[in-house]
């Protein structure tokens, strides 16, 4: 089997499936938000002199889903799928649902392998997370699982990370208590700061305002939040520019001293912004910071106004 299509809402679960396929072998990555499919197919078709098996992982392959696909692209894919390089293992991944009616999906299902897990509803999420806890010899009730789901922005990766953190807190198999989870998840300022920044950058105004009000209860200074937002917009702008200048993922990670998943997150955020919009938000935050320090503006009112503007 040398062509795979993996569809899962979770970045973490996709990586687990990739590891099952590649095992301990190295692999090359392509992100289709930054690379052309023609580049992928050229690399996949290349015959190395030593005939060693090579692995290519192609992320954001969303054309297997409901997105419209150019006919020429379909022809290129079908041509390769019907006559693949036997020395290349090609792994496509997408966090979106796949469309089983498409020719390219049908062909992979017939001749190769599709590993697909549909987006989970709340009951399926609850069952999945409960079983995840049980596999680690812990137990948890529905109310506690439901609290984690409701405080994780409908993001399965965040839910799994929260459970890992909670199990690490206990350090031995036992029953996970609701009050402990509220203390660990709900009152963690670093966690809430992260969620606040993520909500603002994703332009989710209701979530951003709810988190802002929650952070004020814990007396988090608005100037701290201004600095965190400015850092996120600045890094997003850097990543957008560096990719436009054809920098590799490895070079960007080394330059910014960040992990590849962090750079990917910033790049995915950058897709929803123009350069001018990122720079505008940075200038606004700089003005807010300066006028707060001069005593001209109220810090909470200024940040509240920014949220209404930036998330609109």
- CATH placement of domain 122-187: 1.10.8.60
Q: Where are the alpha helices (DSSP H) in 171-221?
A: 178-181, 189-201, 205-217
3-116 belongs to which CATH class? alpha beta
Q: Say what the pLDDT of residue 312 is.
A: 76
pLDDT tens digits, 35-82: 889 999 999 998 877 778 999 999 989 899 987 788 888 999 999 999
DSSP 86: T
Nearest CA among 219, 221, 198, 222 for reference residue 208: 198
Q: Say what the pLDDT of residue 194 is.
A: 82
Tokens 């520019």 -> residue: 241
Instruction: Round the CA-based radius of gyration of the chain to a whole number and report it.
Output: 22
Q: Can you say whether residue 178 is alpha, beta or left, with left for phi > 0 and alpha for psi between -120 and 50 degrees? A: alpha
Calculate the dihedral angle through the C-alpha atoms of 301, 302, 305, 311, rounding to the nearest 10 degrees.
-120
CATH 1.20.272.10 location in the chain: 195-310
Question: Worst-scoring range by mean pLDDT, 148-152, 208-212, 269-273, 276-280?
Answer: 148-152
DSSP 63: G
Q: Say what the pLDDT of residue 237 is.
A: 92
Contact indicator for 93, 61 with CB cutoff of 8 Å: yes
- Give the pairing of strands 3-7 and 88-94: parallel
Cα–Cα separations (whole angstroms), residue 229 to 6, 226, 285? 33, 5, 8
Nearest CA among 215, 165, 157, 155 for reference residue 185: 165
Query: 53: which residues sit within 8 A by CB, 6+ positions away?
Result: 25, 87, 88, 89
- Mapped onto helix, strand or coil, the DSSP state of residue 4 is strand
Q: In what order do the strands lie in the sheet with 54-59?
A: 28-31, 54-59, 88-94, 3-7, 113-116
Answer whether residue 178 shows pLDDT above 80.
yes
Answer whether residue 101 shows pLDDT above 80.
yes
User: 169 falls in which pLDDT band (50, 70, 90)?
Assistant: confident
Question: Worst-scoring range by mean pLDDT, 98-112, 146-160, 293-307?
Answer: 146-160
Q: Say what the pLDDT of residue 76 is.
A: 93
CATH 3.40.50.300 location in the chain: 3-116
Can you tell me the distance from the alpha carbon of 246 to that of 169, in angstroms, rounded to the nearest whole number?
Answer: 42
- Mapped onto helix, strand or coil, the DSSP state of residue 171 is coil
Contact indicator for 42, 76 with CB cutoff of 8 Å: no
DSSP letter string over 108-138? HHHHSEEEE-PPP-HHHHHHHHHHHHHHTT-
Is pTM beyond 0.85? Reply is no
Q: Say what the pLDDT of residue 71 is.
A: 87
CATH 1.10.8.60 location in the chain: 122-187
Answer whether residue 161 shows pLDDT above 70.
yes
Identify the bridge partners of residue 58 per DSSP, sorted by sequence position: 30, 92
DSSP letter string over 228-280? HHHHHHHHHHHHHHHHHTT--HHHHHHHHT--HHHHHHHHHHHTT--HHHHHH
Can you tell me the distance from the alpha carbon of 234 to that of 144, in angstroms, rounded to the nearest whole number?
Answer: 37
DSSP 3: E
Can you tell me the distance from the alpha carbon of 215 to that of 201, in angstroms, rounded to the nearest whole number?
Answer: 17
pLDDT tens digits, 245-264: 888 888 888 888 888 888 88
Contact indicator for 111, 43 with CB cutoff of 8 Å: no
Average pLDDT over residues 18-26: 93
Fold that domain 195-310 belongs to in CATH = Zinc Finger, Delta Prime; domain 3 (1.20.272)
Nearest CA among 149, 207, 158, 139 for reference residue 12: 158
């Amino acid at each position: 089997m040398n062509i795979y299509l993996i569809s899962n809402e979770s970045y973490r679960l996709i990586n687990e499936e990739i590891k099952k396929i590649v095992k301990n072998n190295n692999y090359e990555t392509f992100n289709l938000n930054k690379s052309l499919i023609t580049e992928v197919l050229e690399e996949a078709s290349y015959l190395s002199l030593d005939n060693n098996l090579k692995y290519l992982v192609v992320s954001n392959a969303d054309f297997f889903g409901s997105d419209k696909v150019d006919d020429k692209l379909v022809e290129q894919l079908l041509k390769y799928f019907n006559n693949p390089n036997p020395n290349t293992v090609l792994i496509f991944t997408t966090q979106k649902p796949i469309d089983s009616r498409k020719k390219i999906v049908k062909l992979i299902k017939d001749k190769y392998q599709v590993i697909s897990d549909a987006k989970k509803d709340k009951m399926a999420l609850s069952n999945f997370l409960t079983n995840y806890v049980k596999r680690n010899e812990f137990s948890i009730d529905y109310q506690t699982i439901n609290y984690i789901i409701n405080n994780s922005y409908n993001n399965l990766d965040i839910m799994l990370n929260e459970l890992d953190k909670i199990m690490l807190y206990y350090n031995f198999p036992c029953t996970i208590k609701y009050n402990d989870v509220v203390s660990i998840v709900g009152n963690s300022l670093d966690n809430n700061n992260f969620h606040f920044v993520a909500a603002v950058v994703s332009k989710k105004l209701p979530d951003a305002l709810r988190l802002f009000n929650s952070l004020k209860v814990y007396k988090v200074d608005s100037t701290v939040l201004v600095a965190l937002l400015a850092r996120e917009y600045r890094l997003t702008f850097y990543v957008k520019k560096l990719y436009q200048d054809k920098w590799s993922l490895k070079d960007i990670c080394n330059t910014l001293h960040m992990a590849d998943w962090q750079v990917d997150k910033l790049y995915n955020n950058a897709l929803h912004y123009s350069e001018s919009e990122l720079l505008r938000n940075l200038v606004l935050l700089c003005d807010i910071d300066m006028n707060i320090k001069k005593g001209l503006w109220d810090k909470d009112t200024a940040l509240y106004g920014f949220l209404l503007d930036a998330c609109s």
